[in-house]
Structure 1
Amino acid sequence: MTRPVILTVDDDPGVSRAVARDLRREYGEHHRIVRAESGPAALEALREIALRGEQVAVILADQRMPRMTGVEFLERAMDLFPRARRVLLTAYADTDAAITAINVVDLDHYLLKPWDPPEEKLYPVVDALLAAWREAPDRPAASIRIVGHRWSSRSYELRDLVARNQLAYEFLRVDEPEGARLLEAAGVGADRLPVVVTADGQALVEPSDGEVVAAAGLATSATQAVYDLVVVGGGPAGLGASVYGGSEGLRTVLVESRATGGQAGTSSRIENYLGFPNGVSGDQLTTRARLQAEKFGTEVITTRTVTALEPRGRARVVRFDDGTEITAHAVVLATGVSYRMLDCPGLDEHTGQGVFYGAAATEASACANQDVYVVGGANSAGQAAMNFSRHARRVVMLVRGPSLEASMSSYLIDQIRANPRIEVRTCTEVVGASGTDHLEKLTLRDRNSGDEETVEASWLFVFIGAAPRTDWLEGVVARDGRGFVLTGSDLPRRPEEKGPPGWEPERDPFHLETSVPGVFAVGDVRAESVKRVASAVGEGAMAVSLVHRWLENG
Structure 2
Amino acid sequence: MTRPDAQSRKPVMMTVDDDPAVSRAVARDLRRHYGEDHRIVRAESGPEALETLKQLKLRGEAVATLIADYRMPQMTGIEFLEQAMDLYPAARRVLLTAYADTHAAIDAINVVDLDHYLLKPWDPPEEKLYPVVDALLEAWRAAPQHAIPHTKVIGHRWSARSWQVRDFLARNGLYYTWFMADEPAGEQLLQAAGEDGRRLPIVITEQGDPLIEPTDAQLADKLGLASTPSQEFYDLIVIGGGPAGLAAAVYGASEGLRTVLIERTATGGQAGQSSRIENYLGFPDGVSGGQLAERARRQAEKFGAELITARAATALEINGSKRTIRFADGGSIDAHAVILATGVAYRNLEADGCHELTGCGVYYGAAVSVASDCKDEEVYVVGGANSAGQAAMYLSREANSVTIVVRGPSLEASMSYYLIQQIEQNPKITVRTCTEVRRATGDGHLEKLTLVNNRTGDTEEVTCARMFIFIGAAPRTEWLDGVLARDAHGFILTGPDLRNVCGWTLDRPPHHLETSVPGVFATGDVRSESAKRVAAAVGEGSMAVMLVHRYLAES
Letter of the structure 1 residue corresponding to residue 532 of structure 2: K
Counterpart CA distance in 2 for 1:158 and 1:456 is: 27
Equivalent residue runs for 1:421-440 within 5 Å: 421-440=428-447
- Residue 229 of structure 1 pairs with residue 230 of structure 2: no
5+ residue gaps, structure 2, are 6-146
Counterpart CA distance in 1 for 2:218 and 2:243 is: 26
Equivalent residue runs for 1:393-412 within 5 Å: 393-412=400-419
Tell me the residue number matched to 2:273.
Answer: 266
SS in 1 for 2:373: helix
Tell me the residue number matched to 1:41.
Answer: none
Counterpart CA distance in 1 for 2:499 and 2:484 is: 11
Shift of the 205–270 alpha-carbon distance from structure 1 to 2, 3 Å rule, reads same
Equivalent residue runs for 1:380-395 within 5 Å: 380-395=387-402
Counterpart CA distance in 2 for 1:462 and 1:142 is: 35
Letter of the structure 2 residue corresponding to residue 516 of structure 1: V
Letter of the structure 1 residue corresponding to residue 372 of structure 2: S
Tell me the residue number matched to 1:162.
Answer: 169
Q: By how many angstroms is 1:301 displaced?
A: 0.5
Counterpart CA distance in 1 for 2:468 and 2:400 is: 15
SS in 2 for 1:464: coil
Counterpart CA distance in 2 for 1:451 and 1:539 is: 45
SS in 2 for 1:432: strand
- Residue 182 of structure 1 pairs with residue 183 of structure 2: no
Shift of the 141–275 alpha-carbon distance from structure 1 to 2, 3 Å rule, reads farther
Equivalent residue runs for 1:455-470 within 5 Å: 455-470=462-477
Counterpart CA distance in 2 for 1:474 and 1:446 is: 38
Counterpart CA distance in 1 for 2:320 and 2:496 is: 24
The worse-fitting range, judged by mean Cα deviation, of 472-481 and 181-190 is 181-190
Describe the superposition over 1:150-207 as per-residue Cα deviations: whole angstroms up to 9, x where unpaired: 1000000000000000101011111011111211111123111111111111111111
Q: By how many angstroms is 1:456 displaced?
A: 1.0
Tell me the residue number matched to 1:119.
Answer: none
Equivalent residue runs for 1:367-516 within 5 Å: 367-493=374-500, 500-516=501-517
Q: By how many angstroms is 1:141 displaced?
A: 6.0
> Contact conserved, 1:228 with 1:251, CA < 8 A, in 2?
yes
Q: By how many angstroms is 1:504 displaced?
A: 2.8
Describe the superposition over 1:204-242 as per-residue Cα deviations: whole angstroms up to 9, x where unpaired: 111101101211101001000000000000000000100
- Residue 518 of structure 1 pairs with residue 525 of structure 2: no
Q: By how many angstroms is 1:371 displaced?
A: 1.3
Counterpart CA distance in 1 for 2:368 and 2:393 is: 12
Equivalent residue runs for 1:291-440 within 5 Å: 291-440=298-447
Counterpart CA distance in 1 for 2:182 and 2:374 is: 20
Counterpart CA distance in 2 for 1:459 and 1:360 is: 12
Tell me the residue number matched to 2:530.
Answer: 529
Counterpart CA distance in 2 for 1:380 and 1:302 is: 24
- Residue 550 of structure 1 pairs with residue 551 of structure 2: yes
Counterpart CA distance in 1 for 2:155 and 2:509 is: 55
TM-score (norm 2): 0.73
TM-score (norm 1): 0.73
> Contact conserved, 1:267 with 1:281, CA < 8 A, in 2?
yes
5+ residue gaps, structure 1, are 5-139, 494-499
> Contact conserved, 1:396 with 1:423, CA < 8 A, in 2?
yes
> Contact conserved, 1:142 with 1:170, CA < 8 A, in 2?
no
Q: By how many angstroms is 1:364 displaced?
A: 1.8
SS in 2 for 1:179: helix
Equivalent residue runs for 1:84-103 within 5 Å: none
Counterpart CA distance in 2 for 1:142 and 1:436 is: 35
Identical amino acids, percent of aligned pairs? 62
Tell me the residue number matched to 1:282.
Answer: 289
Tell me the residue number matched to 2:137.
Answer: none
> Contact conserved, 1:142 with 1:169, CA < 8 A, in 2?
no
Shift of the 142–403 alpha-carbon distance from structure 1 to 2, 3 Å rule, reads farther
Counterpart CA distance in 1 for 2:172 and 2:293 is: 10
Counterpart CA distance in 1 for 2:232 and 2:260 is: 11
Shift of the 184–514 alpha-carbon distance from structure 1 to 2, 3 Å rule, reads same
Q: By how many angstroms is 1:297 displaced?
A: 0.2
Tell me the residue number matched to 2:14.
Answer: none
Letter of the structure 2 residue corresponding to residue 290 of structure 1: R
Counterpart CA distance in 2 for 1:189 and 1:255 is: 37
SS in 2 for 1:366: coil
The worse-fitting range, judged by mean Cα deviation, of 190-199 and 422-431 is 190-199
Shift of the 329–141 alpha-carbon distance from structure 1 to 2, 3 Å rule, reads farther
SS in 2 for 1:437: coil
Describe the superposition over 1:11-45 as per-residue Cα deviations: whole angstroms up to 9, x where unpaired: xxxxxxxxxxxxxxxxxxxxxxxxxxxxxxxxxxx
Shift of the 460–277 alpha-carbon distance from structure 1 to 2, 3 Å rule, reads same
Q: By how many angstroms is 1:365 displaced?
A: 2.1
Q: By how many angstroms is 1:142 displaced?
A: 5.6
SS in 1 for 2:352: coil
Counterpart CA distance in 2 for 1:144 and 1:244 is: 33
Counterpart CA distance in 2 for 1:301 and 1:525 is: 20
Task: Select the structure of larger CA radius of gyration.
Answer: 2
